[in-house]
């Protein structure tokens, strides 16, 4: 999903930076508040960041004959919300731009918006919506994690299609072409990532259910119910 | 089932590897251009379809890994850093839980 350095015309690079900045500021504010009010969640925040570091570094081959990487944003999104994920994702993307020549500083806005803002935001809204109607917890985690991953690549395709509409066929044709490159490759990776996050949430529920309750991911009754599901 | 999700994850990973092996040996057999990054494929499309020239590169302002091997090494370091953090925290939580369990057993 990394749009390479210089691969967005300057006006689009500036546009995506302008879109990113307010959410990054909100994320920094929320992060500061979280550290002040819930210091005990810091290890979990570290784990959430750790997963973004690990999974976004893994370039895996997929069915379409190209390689891509998971995003790892689901844990951070579900527990801490999409905007704190924006901050963590930005740190990872800056690291990759400066030390790995992967992505770039001018395309950072676009890359943050896809991987660390819209993907997590969609995943978060779906998670909250499904939990509200009491959909199964692990099923909800799976769907949210898949969407966090997949939407990242849909947004990357959208960003490129907006910047480079096809000369005949325009935006839609271009969007379809980039979806074919980015999103189709991502489908199997997103499914495996969804399964991985189910297992991660299972172990957090076993080891530190109090943190999930504190962050309003699960109520105490729901923790007992969820634990019952895998202790049967 | 106690380990339902772990089983499903393993099945998912095995299926993923199986699909890769099938695609690699049957569909892309002898194709030397296969398995490049989707980022590179996307970039090639931009260059081909739009007659576009990037106006800035990473080399203009920062370090660029001088070879594919060094790039892989740096990605591995990134993953290691994240993995150590995850292992350290989960290890701490597991130990804490074990100590609590032992203390509870002693009191009983």
User: Tell me, what's the pLDDT at A62?
Assistant: 80
Please write the tens of the pLDDT for every residue from B58-82.
999 988 898 889 989 999 999 999 9
**Mean pLDDT confidence for A191-213:** 94
User: Tell me, what's the pLDDT at B106?
Assistant: 87
Give the residue from chain B lying closest to A205, CA to CA: B93
Would residue A172 count as lying in a domain?
no
Out of A22-36, A71-85, A154-168, B15-29, least confident range: B15-29
Burial of A167 by CB count in 10 Å (0-12 exposed, 13-18 middle, 19+ buried)? exposed
| Mean pLDDT for chain A overall | 93
Give the residue from chain A lying closest to B63, CA to CA: A99
Under an 8 A CB cutoff, do B93 and A43 touch? yes
Would residue A1 count as lying in a domain?
no
**Mean pLDDT confidence for A103-123:** 96
Distance to chain A for B23, nearest Cα, Å: 6
User: Tell me, what's the pLDDT at A185?
Assistant: 83
Would residue A54 count as lying in a domain?
yes
Rounded to whole angstroms, how far apart are CA atoms B28 and B31? 5
Q: Which residue segment(s) compose the domain that A27 sits in?
A: 10-151+188-231
Q: Give the confidence band of A172 by pLDDT, cuts at 50, 70, 90.
A: very high
Would residue A178 count as lying in a domain?
no
Total of domains in chain A: 1
User: Tell me, what's the pLDDT at B22?
Assistant: 85
Chain center to CA of A80: 12
Domain with A77 in it: what CATH number?
Answer: 1.10.1760.20
Distance to chain A for B58, nearest Cα, Å: 6
CB-based contact, A106 to chain B, within 8 Å: yes
**Mean pLDDT confidence for A166-190:** 90
Would residue A161 count as lying in a domain?
no
Q: Residue A4: list chain B partners with CB under 8 A.
A: 39, 43, 54
Rounded to whole angstroms, how far apart are CA atoms A172 and A35? 44
Under an 8 A CB cutoff, do A95 and B78 touch? yes
Tens-digit pLDDT string for chain B (108 aa):
788 889 999 999 999 888 888 888 877 776 666 777 888 888 888 888 888 999 999 999 988 898 889 989 999 999 999 999 999 999 999 999 999 989 988 887
- What are the residues whose beta carbons fall under 8 Å from the beta carbon of A144, sequence distance 6 or more? A74, A77, A78, A123, A124, A126, A127, A130
User: Tell me, what's the pLDDT at B32?
Assistant: 61
User: Tell me, what's the pLDDT at A13?
Assistant: 97
User: Tell me, what's the pLDDT at B24?
Assistant: 81
Out of A19-33, A50-64, A195-209, least confident range: A50-64
Inform me whether the pLDDT recorded for A117 exceeds 80.
yes
**Helix axes of A119-132 and A137-163: crossing angle, nearest 10 degrees:** 150
Tell me the longest C-alpha to C-alpha distance in chain B. Answer: 76
Distance to chain A for B103, nearest Cα, Å: 16
User: Tell me, what's the pLDDT at A231?
Assistant: 66
Distance to chain A for B71, nearest Cα, Å: 6
Would residue A27 count as lying in a domain?
yes
CB-based contact, A54 to chain B, within 8 Å: yes
Under an 8 A CB cutoff, do A66 and B34 touch? yes
Would residue A198 count as lying in a domain?
yes
Stretch 33-92 of chain B: residues touching chain A, C-beta under 8 Å: 34-39, 41-43, 45-46, 49-50, 52, 54-59, 61-65, 71, 74-76, 78-79, 81-86, 89-90, 92
Would residue A106 count as lying in a domain?
yes
Give the residue from chain A lying closest to B55, CA to CA: A6
Q: Residue B52: list chain A partners with CB under 8 A.
A: 7, 164
A17 vs B3, which has greater pLDDT?
A17
Rounded to whole angstroms, how far apart are CA atoms B90 and B94? 6
Distance to chain A for B51, nearest Cα, Å: 10
Contact B83, A54 (CB under 8 A): yes
Under an 8 A CB cutoff, do B20 and A3 touch? no
Chain center to CA of A217: 17
Region of residue A216 (left: phi > 0; alpha: psi -120 to 50; beta: else): left
A162 vs A1, which has greater pLDDT?
A162
- Write the DSSP string, A111-143: HHIIIIIIHHHHHHHHHHHHHHTT--HHHHHHH
Rounded to whole angstroms, how far apart are CA atoms A16 and A18? 5
Please write the tens of the pLDDT for every residue from A82-95.
999 999 999 999 99
CB-based contact, A182 to chain B, within 8 Å: yes
Tell me what ipTM this predicted complex has: 0.88
Q: Which of A105, A108, A195 to mutate to test the interface with B (most CBs of B within 10 A)?
A: A195
């Amino acid at each position: 999903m990394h749009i390479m350095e210089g691969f967005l015309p300057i006006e689009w690079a500036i546009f995506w930076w302008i879109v990113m900045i307010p959410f990054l500021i909100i994320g920094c504010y929320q992060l500061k508040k979280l550290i002040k009010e819930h210091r005990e969640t810091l290890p979990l925040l570290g784990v959430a960041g750790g997963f973004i570091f690990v999974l976004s570094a893994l370039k895996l081959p997929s069915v379409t004959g190209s390689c891509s990487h998971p995003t790892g944003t689901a844990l951070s999104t579900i527990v801490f919300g999409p905007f704190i994920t924006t901050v963590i994702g930005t740190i990872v993307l800056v690291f990759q731009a400066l030390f790995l020549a992967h992505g770039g500083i001018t395309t950072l806005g676009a890359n943050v918006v896809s991987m660390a803002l819209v993907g997590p935001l969609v995943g978060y809204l779906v998670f909250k919506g499904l939990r509200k109607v009491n959909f199964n917890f692990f099923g909800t985690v799976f769907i949210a994690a898949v969407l966090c991953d997949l939407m990242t690549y849909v947004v990357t395709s959208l960003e490129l299609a907006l910047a480079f509409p096809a000369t005949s066929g325009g935006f839609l044709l271009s969007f379809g072409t980039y979806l074919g490159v980015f999103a189709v490759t991502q489908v199997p990776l997103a499914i495996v990532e969804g399964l991985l996050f189910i297992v991660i949430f299972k172990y957090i529920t076993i080891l530190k259910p109090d943190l999930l309750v504190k962050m309003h991911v699960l109520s105490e009754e729901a923790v007992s119910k969820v634990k019952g599901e895998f202790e049967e | 089932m106690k380990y339902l999700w772990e089983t499903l994850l393993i099945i998912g990973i095995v299926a993923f590897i199986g699909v890769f092996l099938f695609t690699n040996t049957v569909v892309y057999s002898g194709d030397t251009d296969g398995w490049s990054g989707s980022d590179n494929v996307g970039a090639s499309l931009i260059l081909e379809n739009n007659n576009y020239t990037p106006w800035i590169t990473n080399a203009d302002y920062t370090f660029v890994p001088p070879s594919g091997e060094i790039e892989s090494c740096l990605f591995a370091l990134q993953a290691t850093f994240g993995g150590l953090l995850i292992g350290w925290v989960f290890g701490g939580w597991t130990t804490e839980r074990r100590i609590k369990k032992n203390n509870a057993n002693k009191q009983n």
